[in-house]
Structures are given as C-alpha cells and as structure tokens.
Amino acid sequence: MIKIVTPEENRIPLQTMLPEAMISCTGDWGKDFEWCDVLVIGPGIGMTVKAADKVEFFLKKAKQEKKQVVLDADGLNLLAENPKWKNYLGRHVILTPHMGEMSRLTGKSIRELKDVLRKWKAQGKTIVIAEHRLYYLMDIADRVLYMQGGQIKENLSISDFKKKSTGELHALGLRTLQSEDFSKMQSTVCATKQLYIRDFEVSYKNASGGKTKKRKVLDISDLMIPQGSVVGVVGNNGAGKTTFANNLCGLLKTAKGCMSMNGKTYMANQRIKTCYMVMQDVNHQLFTESVMDEILLSLDNSDEEKATHEAESIMESLHISEFRDAHPMSLSGGQKQRVLLARALCAAGELLILDEPVTGLDPIAAGEMYNLIKLVNLCDGISVIMVSHDIHEAVRYATHILHLGHRQLFFGTAAEYRESDLARRFLGGNRV
C-alpha cells in the first residue's frame, strides 16, 4: 500500500494518475509517519521552506525510530542545501543521486567525481552507475547494461557499445556518445545588438566575531552578450548561477548595477516585463486548471478569439495540443516544461531565462527540450540564458558560455570555451 503526503492542490491530479494510492493532505506529519514502514522523501516536494521543514522532520523522526528512508529528487537537493542534516543519515537511509545531484551533495565537479570513481576502480571495487548521460563515462566504464521494463535487454562490453550508431542509441532512448554541437547551427545571433550587463554585484551580510561584514557572492563588471545567443551559465555549486538568473530577470532585486538591451536600460522592476524565467521546479509556475488557461495567462485577453487562436498555434508548434484541457499537474515533467515554454513564448520580450531546464527529464525528453529551446531561439530571435550544473550539456547545446565563480571567469563562444584552460580543468580530458 502506498500513501502519498502532498499539499491539497495536488490531490486531484495524483488521484487521477494513481487511483490505487492513498492521498493525505492533512498536514499531520506525525500521523503520516506512524502509518508507514518505509519513507520515500523527495519527488514533487519542491524547494520551499515548508518542504525543508517537512523533510527535516521525517529524517529526524526516522533516525529516532529506525525506520528506513529513501531520499530522492528534491529531497537530495534540499539535503545539499542543508548539510547539517547529514547527522540524520545512517545505514537506514538510501540516497539515490544521479551524477548531477551527487555533485551538488558533495560540492565536487563531475570531473572530480570521476577521479574518485577511478580511484575506487583501481582499488578493485565494483561500481554500478545508473545514468542517462553516457558521454562522460565512456573512458571509465567497462560494461554497459541496457534495461527495459525491469529487464536487462543488452549486456555489452564498452568497445561493443561504442560501435552503436547514433540512430541505434536514439532507438533505445539513449543520448549520443558524441556532442551534438548546436553552437555550429545557423543562428540569429546579431553582433550589432547587445545585452549589456555592467557593475552587476550581489552582496550578503554575514555576522562574524560580533561584526557584520558584507560577503560578495556575485560580481560581473562588464559583460556584453550578442542578441540571439544561447548562453550556458556554468560553474561550481554556490558560484552564483541562480542568483545571477533571478536578479537578471527581476525576480530578485538585490543586485547593484544595470542591464540594457539595444541601448535601453532596464531597472530591476522593469526587467520582469522584458524577461521571462522558467524556474527549476516547474510546479511553482503552474496555477490554473488547464493547459489552455496556463498559456492564456501570458496573453492579452482583450480580444478573446485572437488570444485563443494564438495559444492554440503555440501549443501546436510545441506538440502539446492534445493536452489542451488537461490539468497541468497531471502532465509528465517534460510536458510541464513544454507548457511553461509555450507560456514563455507568449510572455518573453527579448530574453528567456531557464534554470536547469532538463532537471528530472529522461534522455529523450531532455533532447526534445533542448531542440525546442534552440527552435525558440532560431525562429523567434529570443536570446536564451540557460543555467546548468552540467558543464558538458551546456557546452553541447549553447552558442556561448558564461562561467561563474562568484565573478565572471570566462565569457565567449562554446568553441572558444572548449579550448580554454578553464574548460580543460572542469571537463577533464573529455572532448565535448
């Protein structure tokens, strides 16, 4: 028997998808805890303060009463943001991170994690990695097991696996082993039109030794981005990527400095009118009872017929017309991303900002999402700022790379970044 503890707004979509499940929306965490034998914490819980309180409560209680826990999805992301919770972990807790989540948990880059794997391998340890992104494992893996429907369908040596063509990999629902270099596609990049960011600073106050000091977490003195670019924003955990994105679009107003596009300066309260941001947790941006209503939120409804026609045209272009009347929360992660991308097309003026746009998506859905982002960029001429924890992915799909480390460490084309010393340090020996 499965019991799902979730906010009231999720009851109907979950009950529709999983009629056999028990849904609890009472908020009585103690009662929910007593009922269970095993807790699975994380999927769909979000990254709010209330979600963090809930996760901490269950982790603490589980340690006290020795109940088994599986920590997954946003549960892992919350753990990464709350290192003190590691005191609640033990043999009763199973963590299920993919490599990106492991990077956030440990504060180490993918390259550093690979070095650890190599060390374990040299010690004779057997390592099993469940992963969609295959390209960065090709130099350390010995065998590949392909599973489908809970069964192992193929068991191949790494040399035999590398012989598979791109078409064969796509047929299996896997990503390619080589880079699909989107930066070489014909683009609408216009060098004469610029997004100009100047003296962009964010500082927080820290109390230390009885004194309050300001700690600078972001410092970009001078950055010029060609209009029509797809910019991958990369860097270590805590480098300021999401802070940069939130301030750039005007969701946060903690940054000093200014942003201008094509000679027009936008203050923080003005940026939200010309920028649109799709956040990492898409559930935070879905508000209505149907996909159609979600898209209409971003359109001028003074002419209802015109707005409806435009919404239907956008849904068709993003292949979500069949979900027109569906509740957004009943859709898959990739379908929700498409809905928000459709709404962004209606709302975005000249700049679209995406925070981890493929988090939680399977390889096929992730590839489709990147293709859609590029399509939006090429066809609509919208500049895209794409925050990514995965440097390999960013280099594959962006035209330009902005590498942050609380300040601007690099900005240039993806091709230039590949050849930089910084890229070699972060990407290791892999060519992407």
CATH code for position 271:
3.40.50.300
Does residue 421 form part of some domain?
yes
- Cα–Cα distances in angstroms (integers) from residue 296 to residues 144, 281, 301, in the given order: 46, 21, 7
Does residue 148 form part of some domain?
yes
Does residue 323 form part of some domain?
yes
Does residue 282 form part of some domain?
yes
Does residue 110 form part of some domain?
no
If you search the block for the tokens 């609380």, which residue do you land on? 406
One domain, residues 149 and 196: no
Residue where a domain stops, chosen among 60, 84, 104: 104
Residue where a domain stops, chosen among 128, 154, 176: 176
Does residue 210 form part of some domain?
yes
| Cα–Cα distance for residue pair 339/315, rounded to 1 Å | 8
One domain, residues 204 and 61: no
Structural domain boundaries, residue 158: 139-176
Does residue 133 form part of some domain?
no
One domain, residues 95 and 152: no
What is the structure's pLDDT at 157? 92
- Cα–Cα distances in angstroms (integers) from residue 80 to residues 237, 245, 273, 344, in the given order: 10, 20, 33, 29
What is the structure's pLDDT at 209? 54
One domain, residues 189 and 146: no
What is the structure's pLDDT at 91? 92
Residue where a domain stops, chosen among 104, 125, 153: 104
Angle between helices 74-81 and 49-65 (to 10 degrees): 90
Q: Which residues contact 129 (CB under 8 A, 6 or more apart)?
A: 99, 117, 137, 141
What is the structure's pLDDT at 227? 80
CB contact at 8 A, 146 and 152: yes
Burial class (CB in 10 A: 0-12, 13-18, 19+), 302: exposed
CATH code for position 16:
3.40.1190.20
- Per-10-residue mean pLDDT for the chain, 432 residues long? 74 72 78 85 77 90 92 85 90 86 76 85 89 73 88 91 80 62 47 75 68 76 86 86 87 82 78 80 83 86 81 81 89 84 75 84 76 72 85 85 90 89 72 44
One domain, residues 228 and 304: yes
Tell me how many domains the chain contains. Answer: 3
One domain, residues 361 and 397: yes
One domain, residues 19 and 160: no
CB contact at 8 A, 389 and 173: no
Q: Look up the pTM and report it.
A: 0.59
CB contact at 8 A, 244 and 232: no
One domain, residues 100 and 187: no
One domain, residues 290 and 306: yes
Cα 317-278-239 angle, rounded to 5 deg:
135
What is the structure's pLDDT at 184? 46
One domain, residues 157 and 190: no
One domain, residues 72 and 149: no
What is the structure's pLDDT at 175? 63
Give strand pairing partners of 277: 353
One domain, residues 150 and 257: no
Does residue 366 form part of some domain?
yes
What is the structure's pLDDT at 88? 94
Neighbours of 31 (CB within 10 A): 11
